[in-house]
Structures are given as structure tokens and as C-alpha cells.
Amino acid sequence: MAIFQNQATLSYNGNIINSNVTTGEITEVLSATKTAVMNDYAQNDDITYVISIVNSGDVPFTDVTITDNLGAYTFDTQTLVPLTYTENSVCYYTDGILKTTPTVSATPTELVISNITVPANGNAIIIYEATANRFAPPTADGTITNKAVITATGLATPLTVSGTVTAENTAVLTISKTVTPTVITENGQLTYTFIIQNLGNEEASANSNIVVTDTFTPVLNNLVVTLNDTAWTQDVNYTYVPATGLFETVAGQITVPPATFTQNPTTGEYITTPGVATLTVTGNI
């Protein structure tokens, strides 16, 4: 509710007389909320936002505009925008009925949705998507707070609504395999190297139960196995069946540290340095 006051002035023959002060109150009839469908995000995830506007008054608002800052935040002296609007994703409902898409204007720094009507004693719901881009904080304590300002003729004070999502805390693993040498003589020795990378912000701990399985062809003999240059013991850290070449690590023996994240001091873009575990298996064919 907003209180307003005003006072009149009477002037005559060089005299000025002030009236009494009148006081009134504007009852707010428009309210709004903003929520994200999912509470967390990872880089390149699509995030769906829902803005709900309710009109408890007897007169419709016919020219409502939503201006969304796409999560803009300050980095050093720059303003970075961690969300990228997904083109053609806006859906617009009034009182539960899908309407023609309103006017949408999107730039890298702002999303404006206009020509929205909120019926008398009714509601409007606007749904849209945005992608967490390279400026979205991927760290364990990372958040995106997406703010929108709602304006309309007849609205005494613009409405501000916001939704906050947090970075997903998880390990994200990849694995690659190389062999050296690539050309080997009979009864020669070769080494398989497995590089396990963690692109996530959380350690892949023993509880992650990481298992690497491989069937070596040709079969290897006299295995020497290391993890991060530490020697492993058969049947403690891994199992091996020489008859078939089936190699398998014991669940929980491999852990991978989390990635580290830094922001480019010039662009503000997040740079990911993955955590790494290196498993090597050497044997004779």
C-alpha cells in the first residue's frame, strides 16, 4: 500500500494561504512472484523461469512489461550476464488459457517482454527459458539471482521479483585411454594409460564407487598397475583374469579431485581446470 499527500495554495492580493494537507492511500492490486522450475544448474543447462502476476482489482492491466536482467552481476568493473535467453521460449497464459506470444525483445544483457494483459480479478503467467552460459558461476557456492521489474500504466510502484538458483554440486567424470607403444613386437611390453577427469565442483570420492573395466586384447601378462604413480595390488585394488584379459578396478579405490575454476581477469569468463586421476596398466603380450 502507498500513502500519498497533497496540499493546495490560495493566493490573493499578495497573500498566500496553504490549505490543510489531505492524505490518501493507494491499495495495491497487482502482485507477482518469480520461480525457477529447477533449484540448481550446471553450465549449459536450460533453466525455466515462471513469473506469475495476479490482479485482485476490478480493472484489467493491459500494457504490462517485464524487464529481466538475466542474472547480471558485477565482476571487477564489468557487468557480467550469466544467462542467455532461449529464443522463442516464451509462453503466456491468462487465467490458464494460452495466449498469443507477447512482444519479446532480447539482447545479450536484457530480456523485455511487453504487451501483456492481466485481466481483472485474474492472473497472467509468463514462462521462458534461459541457458547458463560461460559467465554462470560453476563453483560449489555459485548462485544466479535473476531479477525482473514489472511496470504498467496505473501501477503506482514497479514490482520487482527475483529467483535464485544454485550451482549443482556434483562430480562430472570423463575417461580417455591411450596405449604406448602403438607398434609392438611379439612378447613385447605395452602400457595402457587411463586419464579420468572431473569437470564438476565436487570430489568423486570413494563413495562414488568408480570402477574401470577393460578386456585387454591381446591378453596381457605380468601386470604392473599404478594409480597416480602409486603401485596397486591385485585382488586388493583390482582384479584380473589372465585367461580372458578382463581387468576391473575394485569399487571405491579410485578418487578424483574436483575441478578448479578461475575467472579470466579480462573477460570474466570461467575457466575450468579438471581434477585428474591417472591409472596405468603395463604388461607383456
CB 33, CB 52: distance < 8 Å: yes
Tens of pLDDT, residue by residue over 96-114, are 999 999 999 999 999 999 9
Distance CA 127, CA 33 (A): 12
Tens of pLDDT, residue by residue over 208-238, are 999 999 999 999 999 999 999 999 999 999 9
How much is the pLDDT for 19?
79
Of the CA atoms within 13 Å of residue 57, those in its CB half-sphere come to 14
Whether the pLDDT of residue 26 is over 60: the answer is no
**One-letter amino acid for residue 99 of the chain:** K
C-alpha cell at position 284: 607383456
Mean pLDDT of 148-171: 95
Distance CA 273, CA 197 (A): 9
CB 269, CB 81: distance < 8 Å: no
Tens of pLDDT, residue by residue over 112-129, are 999 999 999 999 999 999
How much is the pLDDT for 32?
97
Count CB neighbours of 111 within 10 A: 22
How much is the pLDDT for 207?
96
How much is the pLDDT for 3?
66
Handedness of CA 213, 214, 220, 226 (dihedral sign): negative
How much is the pLDDT for 127?
98
pLDDT band (50, 70, 90) for residue 24? low
Tens of pLDDT, residue by residue over 242-266, are 999 999 999 999 999 999 999 999 9
C-alpha cell at position 29: 492490486
How much is the pLDDT for 25?
54
Report all structural domains of the chain as residue ranges with CATH numbers, in order of start: 27-167 (2.60.40.1530), 173-284 (no CATH)
